Structure 1
Amino acid sequence: MKKVVIIGAGAAGMMAASVAADRGFDVTLLEKQHRVGRKILITGKGRCNITSDCEIEELIENVPKNGKFLYSAFYTFTNTDVIDMFNKLGVKTKTERGKRVFPESDKAHDIANALEKQIKNKKVKIMLNTKVEKIVAKNNKIEKVILSDKKEIKCDSVIVATGGLSYPLTGSTGDGYKFAKELGHTVTDIKPSLIGIEVQEDFVRDLEKLSLRNVSISVLNSKNKKVYDDFGEMEFTKYGLDGPIIKSASCRMKDTTKENYKIVVDLKPALDEEKLDKRVQKDFQKYTNKKFEKALDDLLPQKLIPVILDLSEIPRETLVHQISREQRKNLVNLLKNFTFTVKRYRPIEEAIITSGGIKVSEINASTMESKLVEGLFFAGEVIDVDAYTGGFNLQIAFSTAYLAGENC
């Protein structure tokens, strides 16, 4: 019987194990953590956004890094297949704003438990607290896996599903990159993706934990050229900016040590400058005999008002009816162009995913098999593909793992 070893028991590893087991193979799943699916438990803030209910072409469009490499994977095991799989496993799903698909229960552990139950039912041998030292190939063909305790597992195929470098406490510590390099593969530059961003402006500390909904952002490079824009939710942290639209923006930004980016937040995207000016005038009329610091209560969250007051350069004690037209116009411009200077990404340990990985030109896109070593396969985040938030990265994990399991 063909022996298959899968390294890493996250979403990709468990998916690949299930598919390989369906083919009647002897499947062993190795996980260095004390339980399977640890990273699944923290995805989507513990709710687990499993996929996006969109067209396949839209899935590909949401993978800015090597999206075309995933054509076969996405069309072979689709987002509909993912939803159907979990429904059959007893996990009902729901689709929310932005076509994001979640378990109806809003509990990520329902997803992890379903995947674990599936592989146990299929008699996959699961070895926890088991660290792999090395993958051995002879004459460019997989021969065995050596564990850290020097035990050896002879096998015909190995699927590397070790994740990236983000969230190392879940087991993603870059092991797969090491294995791939030792077997002759190229690993592209690794950087954090879907991550919070540190900014230079000190006033963000005063805005910590403030969340904004229905705002838009534009990311500008050093030439003032727009490289990305988005609309949705964001939040302030003591170091800078975070939240869904900021994390997605981080995917489109390159090395922050080589490029100076600015993030421009439009606090009122539903109103153009003219309409916003009329809205401000209306509020100014209402508070005409009040001090300026009281005039923004209807327009902005309380926590944001002191910062906007300072940046407007209109003295707080100024009575509203004394504010000039030019000052008002400057205020409107500020609300439409609330600008931040990017300092750097947060540490990679905090990233939802890792950008970079095993070079896709060295992997067969139809099978996920290495072009260099027979019987070596890759699945999930260890490959040099990454996507925006919205369930796309888990779809990558499931689809690439399905191909690896089908072809190992």
Structure 2
Amino acid sequence: MKKIIVIGAGPAGMMAAIKAAENGADVTILEKMKRPGKKMLITGKGRCNITNAATVPEIIKNIHGNGKFLNSSMRAYDNEDVIYFFESQGVPTKVERGQRVFPVSDKAQDVVDAMVHKLHELDVKIETDSPVSEILAHDGEIKAVKLQSGASFKADAVILCTGGASYPGTGSTGDGYKMAQKLGHTLVDIRPSLVPLETEEDWVKSVQGLSLRNVKATLLVDGEKKTDMFGEMMFTHFGVTGPIILSLSRAATEALANDSFVELELNLKPALAEDVLDARLQRDFAKYQRKQLGNAMVDLLPHKLIEPVLDAAFLEMDKPVHQITVEERHRLGHTLQHLPLTITKARPIAEAIVTAGGISVKEINPKTMESKLVKGLYFAGEVVDVDAYTGGYNLQAAFSMGAAAGNWSVWND
């Protein structure tokens, strides 16, 4: 029996261990935390968005960091395979908006429990509280894994699934990068991806906690439109967060790293054409013609947002509605669809959902996930330079890479 050591009991590591064990290997998982799957428990706000129901090409398109690298592994183990796995383990799934796939129970714990139960069923040994210090190789071939305690495990193959450097409280502290670099692998500079953004404008503090649905955020870099997203967002004491902000954040962090000027434009009424919005303003102004402007906006905006929007349009809250000029009304309409925010920086990588960067995909076989430098060394999950938008794509990437690494660690001679 081949002895396979998996370092890290996250989604990629557990899937790799399951596949290796199903192929008859003697598998041990070494996990530094007290229990497996800790980061999975907080994904999807504790609901665990396990995958996306889109086609494989569409999923790959949403993996903006080296998505093409996953062509082979994802076609070998795709989203239908992931859904079948969990449903066969007694975790029925459902598809929600954006084709996000969740457990029917809305409990991430059920997802983790299903994987742990399968590992026990396959007699996979899970060693928790077992941080690894080094992967040992000789003449370009894997030999063993050494723990920080000094203990060592002989191995025919090692699958490195230690995650990135985000949410360090879950165990992702960048250990895997150092292990891989010591064996000669190249680390692509890491940075936060899917991370909240800080803004220059102070008014966001006055609206912190306010969530907006069905809005569009456009990212501008040095005045040029880079990309946009439609959906939900939220204001915080430091700036903005939420699904569309997180999805825009990777491009924002890249631009900030290049010392570019980065802005967001919020379209608070994206469903309305400019002339339709102007007609709506005219109706509201007619309805509230005897009131002050701030009170005339109550049908159009959340109360907290009225003053910031009027300030951005250079209009006074207490100006009588019947005194608003056509030019001022047009300016207000434009502001409602182009509310500006200046992005100063991203939140720290520790607060990012996903880490961009990691072990260079140029040094990994995309079909098998085996190192091109060290025989018997495999990679899977966030430790690899692969990252995606929100929507279940990152977990699907982890499962696909894990399945490939688990299978080929046994099949390869």
- Same fold (TM > 0.5): yes
Are the aligned partners of 2:307 and 2:317 in contact in 1 as well (CA < 8 Å)? no
The alpha-carbon deviation at position 255 of structure 1 amounts to 4.5
The alpha-carbon deviation at position 252 of structure 1 amounts to 2.2
Are the aligned partners of 2:9 and 2:30 in contact in 1 as well (CA < 8 Å)? yes
| Counterpart for residue 239 of structure 2 | 240
| Counterpart for residue 360 of structure 2 | 359
Post-superposition Cα deviations, 1:30-84, rounded to whole Å, max 9, x if no partner, equal: 0000000000000000010000001110011001111110000110000000000
Give the letter aligned to residue 341 of structure 2: F
Per the alignment, in what secondary structure is the counterpart of residue 116 of structure 1? Answer: helix
| Counterpart for residue 16 of structure 2 | 16
| Counterpart for residue 278 of structure 1 | 279
Are the aligned partners of 1:41 and 1:48 in contact in 2 as well (CA < 8 Å)? yes
Distance (whole Å) between structure 1 residues aligned to residue 7 and residue 246 of structure 2: 28
RMSD: 0.7
Matches within 5 A, 1:9-88: 9-88=9-88
**Structure 2 length as normaliser, TM-score?**
0.98
Are the aligned partners of 1:277 and 1:332 in contact in 2 as well (CA < 8 Å)? yes
| Counterpart for residue 230 of structure 1 | 229
Matches within 5 A, 1:235-384: 235-253=234-252, 254-257=254-257, 258-384=259-385
| Counterpart for residue 402 of structure 2 | 401
Are the aligned partners of 1:251 and 1:387 in contact in 2 as well (CA < 8 Å)? no
The alpha-carbon deviation at position 358 of structure 1 amounts to 0.4
Post-superposition Cα deviations, 1:249-275, rounded to whole Å, max 9, x if no partner, equal: 012231414221111110000001111
Per the alignment, in what secondary structure is the counterpart of residue 49 of structure 2? Answer: coil
Distance (whole Å) between structure 2 residues aligned to residue 351 and residue 43 of structure 1: 12
Are the aligned partners of 2:188 and 2:358 in contact in 1 as well (CA < 8 Å)? yes
Aligned length: 407
Give the letter aligned to residue 290 of structure 1: K
The alpha-carbon deviation at position 309 of structure 1 amounts to 2.5
Are the aligned partners of 1:141 and 1:374 in contact in 2 as well (CA < 8 Å)? yes
Per the alignment, in what secondary structure is the counterpart of residue 318 of structure 2? Answer: coil
Give the letter aligned to residue 275 of structure 1: V
Are the aligned partners of 2:293 and 2:319 in contact in 1 as well (CA < 8 Å)? yes
| Counterpart for residue 214 of structure 1 | 214
Asked if 1:108 corresponds to 2:108, the answer is yes
Post-superposition Cα deviations, 1:162-211, rounded to whole Å, max 9, x if no partner, equal: 00000000000001100110000000010000000001011110110000
The alpha-carbon deviation at position 314 of structure 1 amounts to 1.9
Give the letter aligned to residue 264 of structure 1: E
Distance (whole Å) between structure 2 residues aligned to residue 166 and residue 100 of structure 1: 22
**Structure 1 length as normaliser, TM-score?**
0.99
Give the letter aligned to residue 139 of structure 1: D
Per the alignment, in what secondary structure is the counterpart of residue 393 of structure 1? Answer: helix
Distance (whole Å) between structure 2 residues aligned to residue 317 and residue 12 of structure 1: 57
Give the letter aligned to residue 299 of structure 1: L
The alpha-carbon deviation at position 307 of structure 1 amounts to 1.4
Distance (whole Å) between structure 1 residues aligned to residue 292 and residue 323 of structure 2: 9
| Counterpart for residue 94 of structure 1 | 94
Give the letter aligned to residue 247 of structure 1: L
Give the letter aligned to residue 135 of structure 2: I
Q: Which runs of 5+ in 2 are unaligned?
A: none
Distance (whole Å) between structure 2 residues aligned to residue 144 and residue 361 of structure 1: 24
Give the letter aligned to residue 176 of structure 2: G
Identity %: 51
Q: Which runs of 5+ in 1 are unaligned?
A: none
Post-superposition Cα deviations, 1:119-143, rounded to whole Å, max 9, x if no partner, equal: 0110001100001010010000000
Give the letter aligned to residue 321 of structure 1: H
Are the aligned partners of 1:216 and 1:230 in contact in 2 as well (CA < 8 Å)? yes
The alpha-carbon deviation at position 317 of structure 1 amounts to 2.1
The alpha-carbon deviation at position 89 of structure 1 amounts to 0.3
| Counterpart for residue 186 of structure 2 | 186
Give the letter aligned to residue 87 of structure 1: E
Matches within 5 A, 1:169-180: 169-180=169-180
Distance (whole Å) between structure 1 residues aligned to residue 186 and residue 9 of structure 2: 24
Per the alignment, in what secondary structure is the counterpart of residue 220 of structure 1? Answer: strand
Distance (whole Å) between structure 2 residues aligned to residue 60 and residue 18 of structure 1: 24
Post-superposition Cα deviations, 1:341-392, rounded to whole Å, max 9, x if no partner, equal: 1100001111000000000010000000000000000000000010000000
Give the letter aligned to residue 211 of structure 1: S
Are the aligned partners of 2:221 and 2:255 in contact in 1 as well (CA < 8 Å)? no
Are the aligned partners of 2:255 and 2:262 in contact in 1 as well (CA < 8 Å)? no
Per the alignment, in what secondary structure is the counterpart of residue 277 of structure 1? Answer: helix
Per the alignment, in what secondary structure is the counterpart of residue 172 of structure 1? Answer: coil
